[in-house]
Amino acid sequence: MKVVLVSSLLPSGHYAQYLARGLSRFPGLELIVYTDKDKGNLRIQGCGAIKNVWTKSSRFVFEIMRELEIDAPDVVHLQHEINMFGGTLTAAAFPLLLLLIKLKKIKRIVTIHCVVPRSMVDRKFGAYFYKDSWATRPAVAKMFFSFLYGWICRFSDGVIVHTQLTKVCLTRDYGVPDEKVSVIPTAIPDRGSVSCEKKDNFLYFGYIVRRKGLPYVLRGFSEFLKKNPACPFKLILAGGVIKGQEGARQEIVDFISADKRLNGRVIMKGFVKEEELDALYGRAVAVVIPAEISMGSSGPLYHALSYRKCALASKVGHLLEEIEHLKTGYLVDNDLWQEAFQFCLEDPARLAQIEKNIVEATKGRTPLLTAEKHSEVYAGSPCTL
């Protein structure tokens, strides 16, 4: 079976890397990955045959179709994220790509990483992403999401999501048939415990965007430092920005500058290379995963679990499904982050037990076992014409 996976593989820790490594090792499956034209994708090892195919622009549809003519795969598996191919207009063109592949009589599987519940779309929702405009008005946004999810599911042969909550949202809010949606949790590679002489930081790894709720973490960390001024721990923010949301980073910089306790104790690093990530995770007491809203499975959570690190995560949405409090992580009310930091300081034995529990909880989620589940979807979903 020849499979084309359409996805970026960057940045480091991207979910598609884990999946591609499993698929490339699966017997009887030939994998080709169509990535964006960032040359860094070509340096990634163990992910099958990688091709730089598409640009983050409206041209992506025709660039992918041109390459499919050459490769003639049995299955095209597309990853869908709102910003993957550019902005809102390219997201709206995604169903067109599916329609064109359908007309070529090639089986189409789509992994939908994020589904926005209709109840979440209000005036505040738009402020998490862009400035207020007609496009972010609730009525317009609801029509856009209904169009997007409805036609993606109609033009695909099978849909994969990572959590049960995402499936419920698709079927309840957007009328997708239950039998069309498969729930496959993401792969968790075993990076093992990264040895390090000391653990002296809390680590945030992800985009610096408003919906992540980083001010909650910063306020909590400031309160923690007020109570424990001699504590040596720092907070590392490793993550870049999304185009159109650059102002969110400046808001965080201003927040840190305005709080004397945070000066010198919060380090902003931007995106980091994989070899540097090993050191950051090795020195991390725990990983922080804040969220104002949760619209899909958490990539930073899976990355933390691959390093066998306890995640301190906001008590919202999908994180409630994916973390068992004090068993496989620590769930936090957003106004009580100081208590999460205090827990790590006062109960290192329990923290160590959570790390051991993570090892057991992720045994069935290796890239190869996850690839097997995907291959069943590829083989079981009939190609509809």
Q: Token pair of 317, please?
A: 């949405």
Whether 178 and 309 map to the same domain: the answer is no
Residue 376 lies in a domain: yes
The rounded distance, in Å, linking the Cα atoms of 280 and 251 is 24
Q: Rg for the chain (alpha carbons), in Å?
A: 21
If one counts the domains in the chain, the total is 2
Task: Report the SS3 class of residue 112.
Answer: strand
Whether 79 and 168 map to the same domain: the answer is yes
Domain span at residue 158 reads: 2-187+366-380
Q: Which has more pLDDT, 166 or 140?
A: 166
Q: Residue 307 is which amino acid?
A: Y
Overall average pLDDT of the 315-326 stretch: 94
Q: What is the pLDDT of residue 200?
A: 87
Residue 353 lies in a domain: yes
Residue 195 lies in a domain: no
Q: Token pair of 100, please?
A: 């064109």
Whether 297 and 268 map to the same domain: the answer is yes
Whether 180 and 214 map to the same domain: the answer is no
Residue 316 lies in a domain: yes
Smallest CA-to-CA distance from 239 within 267, 210, 206 is with 206
Whether 214 and 148 map to the same domain: the answer is no
Q: What is the pLDDT of residues 49-71, one digit of tens each?
A: 999 999 999 899 999 999 999 99
Overall average pLDDT of the 112-130 stretch: 80
Residue 194 lies in a domain: no
Length of the chain: 385
Whether 29 and 86 map to the same domain: the answer is yes
Whether 27 and 169 map to the same domain: the answer is yes
Whether 324 and 375 map to the same domain: the answer is no
Lowest mean pLDDT among 34-48, 189-203, 348-362: 189-203
The rounded distance, in Å, linking the Cα atoms of 328 and 211 is 24
Whether 52 and 150 map to the same domain: the answer is yes
Q: Residue 215: how many CA atoms within 13 Å on its side-chain side?
A: 12
The rounded distance, in Å, linking the Cα atoms of 174 and 42 is 37
Reported confidence tier of residue 44, pLDDT bands at 50, 70, 90: very high
Whether 143 and 244 map to the same domain: the answer is no
Task: Report the SS3 class of residue 21.
Answer: helix
Q: What is the pLDDT of residue 195?
A: 62
Q: With the CA atoms of 8, 11, 14 and 18 taken in that order, what torsion angle do they form, in degrees rounded to the nearest 10?
A: 90
Residues 6+ apart with CB under 8 A from 116: 125, 141, 145, 169, 295
In percent, how much of the chain has pLDDT > 70? 94
Residue 17 lies in a domain: yes
Q: What is the pLDDT of residue 132?
A: 54
Strands 234-238 and 2-6: unpaired
Residue 293, classified by CB atoms within 10 Å of its CB into exposed (0-12), middle (13-18) or buried (19+), is: middle
Q: Which CATH number belongs to the domain containing residue 291 in this structure? A: 3.40.50.2000
Whether 152 and 227 map to the same domain: the answer is no
Are the C-beta atoms of residues 297 and 318 closer than 8 Å to each other? yes
Whether 142 and 21 map to the same domain: the answer is yes
